[in-house]
Structure 1
Amino acid sequence: MGQPIAVRTDLTAVEVRRLARRAKDSDQVRRLLAIAAVLDGASRTEAAKVGGMDRQTLRDWVIRFNEQGPDGLINVPAPGAPAKLNEEHRAFLAQIVDEGPIPAIHGVVRWRACDLIMRLHEEFGISVSDDTVYRALKDLGFSHVSARPRAYKQDPDAIEAYKKNFHSSVEDIRSSLAPDTPVEVWFQDEMRVGQKNKLTYRWARKGSRPRAAHDQRTQSTYLFGAVCPELGTGAALVLPFCNTEAMQLHLDEISTKVSHGAHAIIILDQAGWHGAKQLSVPHNISLLPLPPRSPELNSQENIWQFMRQNWLSNRVFKSYDDIVDHCCYAWNTLIAQPWKIMSIGLRDWAYIGRSL
């Protein structure tokens, strides 16, 4: 028979039980109580029963207790297999994903797991699974998202200049106003809503592809909308046409929603009806066109996306009146959530404090 192992005596049974009362790990508590029983003079068999273990297991924990103290009685997770991708591999993976593929060279327009696995093998001679690549990308802060469309021949310099000079443009407009006139920044755009509706992402079982009804009829209407993200307010009209006359009606509607005594700067794209000579811009509104081909600067575009994803897509509209009713419902539901307008619409470069 093996010789019994003495328990360290720098802690008394009372102190060990006190530690057990404060411990949050249930397994550590059992082991501390078993060792306290040993310190009280109980036999190893009796002490093992107190901790709900056999004598050999108690012996192993006594050794850990003698070497590491009470903290040694906490379970330590197994280290597991070493990671297949080290820091060099992960840095390379992050770089090529950030840069994206070159279709003429790599033969694909987006990276798939199999493409990334091949690049890692070509560069480092290692073989990994799809799951390893997916986990690494997630740890590196990547997620699988749909790309935002970018207009053809877009001028990035013009976009940056617009944001940089936005406040000076506001000051130019302010100089023509009465002193101390509050300024509000609004974003305006139009959205076509029709029976040939859009389908959006939805949750579904892995391996399946959910189906949704898709109408082929062509009745449609236009939702003219504008929001002031700073105040969480908006103004909209559902109109049958998208032309100068409709734009005039919308500007008149926006002017009624501008705060009393304030002046609204409407940011909008350069559609023909937005700058038509026949427009009579209300006295409390100024129009500030965006650079060509830069819809991402217009936060009303994101409002449309939110409305489609939550209330308008994946539907079959019975008639034109049904389309109008759903547009009105979607807009009124949005307006009832001003915090949502603020969250979606605020842009750092366009934010104007109420004190200005």
Structure 2
Amino acid sequence: MKRLKITNDHGWTPRTLRKQERKIKDASLRVRVTAVRLVMEGHLGKDVAKMVNLCRQSVALYVARFNEGGLDHLLDRRLPPGRVPFLTEEQQQEIRQLVLTTTPVDAGWGIASSWNTRILQSYIQHTYGVSMSREGIRKLLHRLRLS
């Protein structure tokens, strides 16, 4: 197996990388920097993988990313954009205001004194033409910091 090498240190030394590790709060990103630092110190890729509890391919990938673009490229996380929300940001804020300032009786939605997912489900369907599950509405309320 070929030994991993840091071909371009981008001005980083093991000492400066260790200081950077201490500043990083995200554990998975800190492990990346640790892996690169250990390779820079001369450890074998498979040994580094055991030390930081990764597979050796991940260590090789992190070293390659560091060699390519330095620490910024190593710490860059490209997450998928995720699903498009059922309701726009404006509609979500309207729901938030509705729940905070009115009751279902005030809005003409039954005789209940407080909003629940069942009532909100029918309100959202009628007002916005969007069909959401009650669990989806519960999660929406949670994201809006409502209980």
TM-score (norm 1): 0.31
Unaligned runs of 5+ in 1: 144-356
Structure 1 residue 94 corresponds to structure 2 residue 96: yes
3-state SS of the aligned residue for 1:69? helix
Structure 1 residue 127 corresponds to structure 2 residue 128: no
Q: Which residue of 1 aligns with 2:8?
A: 8
Shift of 1:119: 1.6
Unaligned runs of 5+ in 2: none
Shift of 1:142: 4.6
Shift of 1:120: 0.9
Q: 1:8 to 1:45 in 2, by over 3 A?
A: same
Shift of 1:116: 1.5
Q: 1:70 to 1:128 in 2, by over 3 A?
A: same
Q: 1:125 to 1:23 in 2, by over 3 A?
A: closer
Q: Superposition RMSD on alpha carbons, in Å?
A: 3.9
Between the two proteins, the alignment pairs up a number of residues equal to: 141
Q: Which residue of 1 aligns with 2:86?
A: 84
Shift of 1:127: 1.5
Residue type matched to 1:32 in 2? V
Shift of 1:76: 8.1
Structure 1 residue 51 corresponds to structure 2 residue 52: yes
Name which structure has the greater RCO, CA cutoff 8 Å, separation 6+: 2
3-state SS of the aligned residue for 1:16? helix
Asked if structure 2 preserves the Cα contact closer than 8 Å seen for 1:5 and 1:59, the reply is no
Higher strand share: 1
Q: How do residues 194-209 of structure 1 correspond to structure 2 at under 5 angstroms?
A: none
Asked if structure 1 preserves the Cα contact closer than 8 Å seen for 2:109 and 2:123, the reply is no
1:91 and 1:29 mapped to 2: Cα distance? 36
Higher helix share: 2
1:49 and 1:142 mapped to 2: Cα distance? 44
Q: How do residues 253-292 of structure 1 correspond to structure 2 at under 5 angstroms?
A: none
Asked if structure 2 preserves the Cα contact closer than 8 Å seen for 1:33 and 1:50, the reply is no
Q: How do residues 214-225 of structure 1 correspond to structure 2 at under 5 angstroms?
A: none
Q: How do residues 1-356 of structure 1 correspond to structure 2 at under 5 angstroms?
A: 6-9=6-9, 10-20=11-21, 23-66=24-67, 67=69, 69=71, 72-73=74-75, 81-97=83-99, 98-102=101-105, 106-110=109-113, 111-140=115-144, 142-143=146-147
Shift of 1:136: 3.3
TM-score (norm 2): 0.63
